[in-house]
């Protein structure tokens, strides 16, 4: 386990940022838990060499992801976490990192629909065995989010243009980014089956390509839980989580404990979810006897709800499938959906980056679950999904370069472990299935095609 922090936390404990917020120093410190054995990974000695070596993940990251060890210098006018976060929400990114996608809709076994946005749009322009970045966006976002585009625009650019030459697939949550709702279910921070089925489809479509996970905020929590649940059978060979909320219950308490947290951030997120619900009311009420349909009227009566109030009214019922759902309270849902306690179960190289002044995420498991495959990075500032610094003529994100270095490391330098995922097959109805999981399955639907990924959704705050 590698722990990097400007605040030098005790790596054996979860780190609470609340009391130490103003003590953050701009200098870097490096520490690791002495009782954790370094994880060894197999690495290629060179691009044209068939020789390999066993190297500790820590040493490999230090030598090949050097940007992780550079200081982040925020723009002078975005000098704290609130300003960084607000710029993420209200900043104009329309001229940067333009992306277009080739969308495929998947009908899932439970009747739901997810949208997979592939880049580049010409699916034949990238070799079939090129690494694929599988992306999960934040709370109510989509493939259009500037924080998504900032990384995959450069990752998907050809090598001769300074990119990685990779493919990317953004897995949009149900109902987000123009994806229709076709069953009485939304999504949540803990429901991983949609990502699981998307990974099945992508790996079936490109069986020779390594899949690399990348998640932002709520999507980072889903990614972390997926990797932990799958363990050795994960179809994603690595994970990278930015601004993961980790302990949902404690971070919700932190949000509600301050005026700004409650009335700006929590109500901003609750309002986004309420607007998303209003957009899909008819679809969610198709079966009036369903538990989700019965929860809709109470949710529609909410006025300017906090995130907790919306979750306690609707997400605890509609955020997933039985037997986990429904929950009695939002706090029961938060405790179940949190990812901080499952990090120990991840069995692939995993990088997490959080900011010490993030006003939304105040608790970060800096011990990495005692897992030698987990790297925890904590910057002194950056806000929630911000990390804005001066770029070449525009506002850039500090996280872009280290994440690209990480993706190159896990996509090209590491030798993938032998695939131990369950066998896939097509059933008599044309659904892609996985052995041992009869409740899962997906099938490509008609529709989709090339879409403009540079706008947003009306009524939605970006960057959350």
**What's the pLDDT at 19?**
33
- Is the residue at 462 inside a domain? no
- Of the three residues 313, 336, 359, the one that is the final residue of a domain is 336
- How far apart are alpha carbons 149 and 158 in whole angstroms? 15
- The token pair at 54 is 């066993």
24 and 48 housed in the same domain = yes
76 and 183 housed in the same domain = yes
CA dihedral angle for residue 296, residue 300, residue 302, residue 303, rounded to 10 degrees: 160
Cα of 46 vs its chain's centroid, Å: 30
- Is the residue at 457 inside a domain? no
145 and 257 housed in the same domain = no
Q: Is 325 exposed, middle or buried (0-12, 13-18, 19+ CB in 10 A)?
A: buried
203 and 107 housed in the same domain = yes
- Is the residue at 197 inside a domain? yes
> pLDDT in tens for each of the 464 residues of the chain?
555 544 334 433 455 543 333 233 333 333 333 346 678 998 887 766 678 889 899 999 999 999 999 999 999 999 999 999 999 999 999 888 999 999 999 999 999 999 999 999 998 889 999 999 999 999 999 999 999 999 999 999 999 999 999 999 999 999 999 999 999 999 999 999 999 999 999 999 999 999 999 999 999 999 999 999 999 999 999 999 999 999 999 999 999 999 999 999 999 999 999 999 999 999 999 999 999 999 999 999 999 999 999 999 999 999 999 999 999 999 999 999 999 999 999 999 999 999 999 999 999 999 999 999 999 999 999 999 999 998 887 889 999 999 999 999 999 999 877 778 889 999 999 999 999 999 999 999 999 999 999 988 887 888 88
- How far apart are alpha carbons 405 and 65 in whole angstroms? 5
Q: Are 118 and 205 in contact (CB under 8 A)?
A: no
- The token pair at 161 is 């243009």
The total number of structural domains in the chain stands at: 2
- Of the three residues 315, 336, 357, the one that is the final residue of a domain is 336
- Is the residue at 458 inside a domain? no
Structural domain boundaries, residue 346: 2-247+338-452
243 and 259 housed in the same domain = no
Q: What are phi and psi of 64, to 5 degrees?
A: -120, -5
- Of the three residues 302, 320, 336, the one that is the final residue of a domain is 336
- Is the residue at 119 inside a domain? yes
213 and 307 housed in the same domain = no
Q: Are 396 and 389 in contact (CB under 8 A)?
A: yes
269 and 237 housed in the same domain = no
- The token pair at 270 is 């609750």
376 and 394 housed in the same domain = yes
- Is the residue at 460 inside a domain? no
**What's the pLDDT at 4?**
54
- Is the residue at 368 inside a domain? yes
297 and 193 housed in the same domain = no
- Is the residue at 381 inside a domain? yes
Q: Return the H-helix or E-strand segment holding 402.
A: helix 400-408
317 and 396 housed in the same domain = no
**What's the pLDDT at 3?**
52
Q: Return the H-helix or E-strand segment holding 260.
A: helix 259-260
**What's the pLDDT at 2?**
53
Beta strands 52-56 and 40-44 are antiparallel
Give, in degrees to the nearest 5, the angle at Cα 189 between 315 and 356. 125
Can you give the CATH number for the domain in which 344 is found?
3.40.50.1820
Cis peptide before 214 (omega within 30 of 0): no
209 and 106 housed in the same domain = yes
Give, in degrees to the nearest 5, the angle at Cα 276 between 270 and 280. 140
385 and 359 housed in the same domain = yes
**For the chain, what is the largest distance between any 2 Cα atoms, rounded to a whole number of angstroms?**
64
- How far apart are alpha carbons 118 and 285 in whole angstroms? 31
Please name the residues in contact with 463: beta carbons below 8 A apart, sequence gap of 6 or more: 85, 88, 89, 91, 138, 141, 145, 146, 147, 384, 385
Work out the angle between the directed axes of helices 193-205 and 218-230 (0-180°, nearest 10). 70
Q: Are 373 and 57 in contact (CB under 8 A)?
A: yes
């Amino acid at each position: 386990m590698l722990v990097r922090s400007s605040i030098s936390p005790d790596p054996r404990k979860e780190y609470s940022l609340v009391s130490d917020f103003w003590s953050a120093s701009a200098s870097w410190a490096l520490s690791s838990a002495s009782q954790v054995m370094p994880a060894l990974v197999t690495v290629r000695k060179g691009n044209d060499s068939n020789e390999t070596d066993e190297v500790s993940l820590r040493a490999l990251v230090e030598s090949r992801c050097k940007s992780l060890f550079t200081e982040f210098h925020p723009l002078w006018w975005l000098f704290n976490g609130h300003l960084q976060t607000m710029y993420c929400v209200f900043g104009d990114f329309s001229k940067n990192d333009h992306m277009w996608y080739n969308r495929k809709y998947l009908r899932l076994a439970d009747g739901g629909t997810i949208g997979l946005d592939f880049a580049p749009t010409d699916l034949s322009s990238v070799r079939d065995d090129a690494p694929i970045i599988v992306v999960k966006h934040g709370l109510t976002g989509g493939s259009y989010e500037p924080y998504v585009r900032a990384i995959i625009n450069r990752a998907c650019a050809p090598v001769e243009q300074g990119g990685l030459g990779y493919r990317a697939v953004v897995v949009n949550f149900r109902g987000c980014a123009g994806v229709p709702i076709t069953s009485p279910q939304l999504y949540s921070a803990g429901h991983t089956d949609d990502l699981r089925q998307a990974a099945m489809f992508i790996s079936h479509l490109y069986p020779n390509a390594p899949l690399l996970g990348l998640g932002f905020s709520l999507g980072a929590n889903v990614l972390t839980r997926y990797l932990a649940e799958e363990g050795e059978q994960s179809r994603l060979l690595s994970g990278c989580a930015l601004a993961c909320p980790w302990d949902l219950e404690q971070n919700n308490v932190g949000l509600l404990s301050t005026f700004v947290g409650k009335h700006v951030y929590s109500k901003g997120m609750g309002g986004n979810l309420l607007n998303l619900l209003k957009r899909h009311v008819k679809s969610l009420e198709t079966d009036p006897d369903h538990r989700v349909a019965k929860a809709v009227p109470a949710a529609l009566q909410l006025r300017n709800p906090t995130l907790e109030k919306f979750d306690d009214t609707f997400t605890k019922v509609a955020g997933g499938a039985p037997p986990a759902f429904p929950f009695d309270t939002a706090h029961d849902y938060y405790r179940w959906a949190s990812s901080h306690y499952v990090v120990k179960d991840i069995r692939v190289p995993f990088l997490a980056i959080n900011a010490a002044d993030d006003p939304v995420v105040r608790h970060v498991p800096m011990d990495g679950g005692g897992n030698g495959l987990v790297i925890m990075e904590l910057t002194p500032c950056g806000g929630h999904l911000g990390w804005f610094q001066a770029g070449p003529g525009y506002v850039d994100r500090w996280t872009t370069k280290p994440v690209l270095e990480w993706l190159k490391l896990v996509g090209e330098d590491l030798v993938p472990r032998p695939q131990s995922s369950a066998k896939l097959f097509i059933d008599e109805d044309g659904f892609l299935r996985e052995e041992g999981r009869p409740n899962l399955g997906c099938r490509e639907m008609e529709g989709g095609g090339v879409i403009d990924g540079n706008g947003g959704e009306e009524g939605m705050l970006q960057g959350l």
